[in-house]
Amino acid sequence: MTAFDYDLFVIGGGSGGVRSARLAAALGKKVAIAEEFRYGGTCVIRGCVPKKLYVYASQFAEHFEDALGFGWSVGERRFDWQKLVAAKEQEITRLEGLYRKGLANAGAEILDTRAELVGPNEVRLSATGKTVSAERIVIAVGGHPSPHDALPGHELCITSNEAFDLDQLPKSILIAGGGYIAVEFANIFHGLGVETTLIYRGKEILSRFDQDLRRGLHAAMEEKGIRILCEDIIQSVSAGRDGRRIAATMKHGEIVTDQVMLALGRVPNTRSLGLETAGVKTDERGAIVVDAYSRTTAPGIFALGDVTDRVQLTPVAIHEAMCFIETEYKNNPTSPDHDLIATAVFSQPEIGTVGMAEDEAARRFAELEVYRAEFRPMRATLSGRKEKMIMKLLVNAADRKVVGAHILGHDAGEMAQLLGISLKAGCTKDDFDRTMAVHPTAAEELVTMYQPSYRLRNGERLP
């Protein structure tokens, strides 16, 4: 019999929190979980899920155009933003209900309140003022979009949080940032008919991705009509008399636009959580410091997901939660494996990637083989769309292992999931070569690139 009110108290009802609470409760532990906003967290409520729904919505304009080439005549088209927002709301409410149901069925106590640490094993519930104790506490409170306080006029800007629920679809938008969120939203807004400009401080968008994909996507987005301003930043934002926004940029003068959206990274939700009181250390970015088993510096307190700023991705938070359960409740110490995480950017065209980018692989391996194909996908033939697909495999010549796989084009995210298995299994290029193609698909290119396009030795391209 435990001396605590709960075996486990979870703060935060997002992907990592819900998974740990549900699994622990299903094992018969006495569990409570507290969420101050809506169950489902960023992913379900204002992240991955609504984003993907909006991506689908934004693709119809091109689908209608493409249909002509396949013999269809498409009648009058009209887009209703409010209808999309309402449909999205209905879907995320349904998912939120499923999250709650999963917790309830497992026997976890669901609390709709903010919770803060008040001691090593103690949590205060804001809704009631009550303090409860728990043998173990998991902090899985996620993060929020950086408000970029240093920018004069930042309060006139929106972030991804607001973008999903704007009263009106703006006629024009300026999006700052060159990462996942900036790029995905630029494509969403453009697809919905908004005049879209992206402004990014670096030389090329998506700094952590393979160069070919970065350049290829940049060109494809510009071809669609998205304006991309690189090596520039917004210096201030003000409101014009007509209520529009005036963004002063460093290099491109003033940009007058309906909305300015900041997508400049996300910061951990660690403010006023009582971390110091409980002895939980954070780093200079405010992220909770954890060891390989998600243990914080305070005994009995664990942290999972975006609040630890290891890799800010939903499946990673879920994986970390499952490792926590294995370690703490199944006597099977398991540390999260953050190596070779496949990921997708739901840009248009999409990016799917796993493993190292060419630059990184060229630094790491003495000799690197690069297999690269650039082609027009079959579905772009009859539609007449000038769409190019890029596929790339990076192979360490010494052991023939595929160390990076990168795709730009339709369904790249779906392909990345399966490539993730191959790379995780340590497949060699010979394994790819021995694999029969699935015809006719775009993905077959991945197993039919028999000769390297070029080689790099000590980072230098061989003639």
Query: Of 97-105, 130-138, 239-247, 342-350, which segment contacts ligand NDP by CB under 6 A?
Result: 342-350
3-state percent helix, strand, coil for the chain, nearest multiple of 5? 35, 25, 40
Tell which residue, 251, 246, 267, has the closest CA to residue 199: 251
Q: Is 69 exposed, middle or buried (0-12, 13-18, 19+ CB in 10 A)?
A: middle
**Total binding residues toward ligand NDP, as defined by CB under 6 A:** 22
Of the residues 148, 338, 410, 439, only one is catalytic, namely 439
| Residue 399: how many other CB atoms lie within 10 Å | 11
Helices marked H in 365-454 = 379-383, 412-424, 429-434
Is residue 266 at the binding interface for ligand NDP, with CB under 6 A as the rule? yes
439 is a catalytic site residue: yes
Q: What is the DSSP letter of 356?
A: -
Is residue 270 at the binding interface for ligand NDP, with CB under 6 A as the rule? no
Is residue 161 at the binding interface for ligand NDP, with CB under 6 A as the rule? no
Is residue 4 at the binding interface for ligand NDP, with CB under 6 A as the rule? no
Helices marked H in 112-201 = 160-163, 180-191
Is residue 12 at the binding interface for ligand NDP, with CB under 6 A as the rule? no
With respect to ligand NDP, which residue has the nearer C-beta, 9 or 346? Answer: 346
Total residues found in the chain within this entry: 463
300-317 core/surface letters (b: 16 or more CB in 10 A; e: else): bbbbbbbbbbbbbbbebb
Closest approach of ligand NDP to the CB of residue 143, in Å: 8
Closest approach of ligand NDP to the CB of residue 327, in Å: 24
CA 240 to chain centre: 33
Is residue 15 at the binding interface for ligand NDP, with CB under 6 A as the rule? no
- Going by their DSSP bridges, the two strands 259-262 and 172-176 should be labelled as parallel
| Residue 462: how many other CB atoms lie within 10 Å | 10
Is residue 138 at the binding interface for ligand NDP, with CB under 6 A as the rule? no
Identified binder of ligand NDP from the candidate list 229, 264, 368, 391, rule CB under 6 A = 264
Tell which residue, 277, 267, 297, 15, has the closest CA to residue 124: 277
Closest approach of ligand NDP to the CB of residue 178, in Å: 3
Is residue 49 at the binding interface for ligand NDP, with CB under 6 A as the rule? no
Identified binder of ligand NDP from the candidate list 107, 265, 274, 286, rule CB under 6 A = 265
Q: Residues 13, 45: contact at Cβ < 8 Å? A: no
Write the DSSP assignment of 216-243 as a string of letters.
Answer: HHHHHHHHHT-EEEES--EEEEEE-TTS
Please give the residue whose beta carbon sits closest to ligand NDP in the complex. 179
Closest approach of ligand NDP to the CB of residue 48, in Å: 6
Query: Of 109-117, 272-280, 343-351, 357-365, which segment contacts ligand NDP by CB under 6 A?
Result: 343-351
Closest approach of ligand NDP to the CB of residue 271, in Å: 18
Query: Of 281-289, 338-346, 368-376, 418-426, which segment contacts ligand NDP by CB under 6 A?
Result: 338-346
Tokens standing for 173?
């938008």
Site for ligand NDP in 371-400 (CB under 6 A): none
Is residue 344 at the binding interface for ligand NDP, with CB under 6 A as the rule? yes
Residue 426 phi, psi (nearest 5)? 75, 30
With respect to ligand NDP, which residue has the nearer C-beta, 134 or 192? Answer: 192
Closest approach of ligand NDP to the CB of residue 180, in Å: 4
Tokens standing for 98?
């499923």
Print the binding letters for residues 284-323 with ligand NDP: x by CB under 6 A, - otherwise: ----------------------------xx----------
With respect to ligand NDP, which residue has the nearer C-beta, 29 or 51? Answer: 51
Q: From residue 327, how far is each of 266, 272, 322 by CA, in Å?
A: 29, 29, 9
Closest approach of ligand NDP to the CB of residue 295, in Å: 23
What gap in Å lies between CA 367 and CA 191, rounded to an integer? Answer: 42
Closest approach of ligand NDP to the CB of residue 71, in Å: 34
Sign of CA dihedral 334, 12, 265, 183: positive
Task: Please name the helix (run of DSSP H) or strand (run of DSSP E) that holds residue 392, with its range, or none.
Answer: strand 389-396
Is residue 164 at the binding interface for ligand NDP, with CB under 6 A as the rule? no
Site for ligand NDP in 168-227 (CB under 6 A): 177-182, 184, 200-202, 207
Q: Which residues are catalytic?
A: 439
Site residues (CB under 6 A) for ligand NDP? 177-182, 184, 200-202, 207, 233, 263-266, 312-313, 343-346
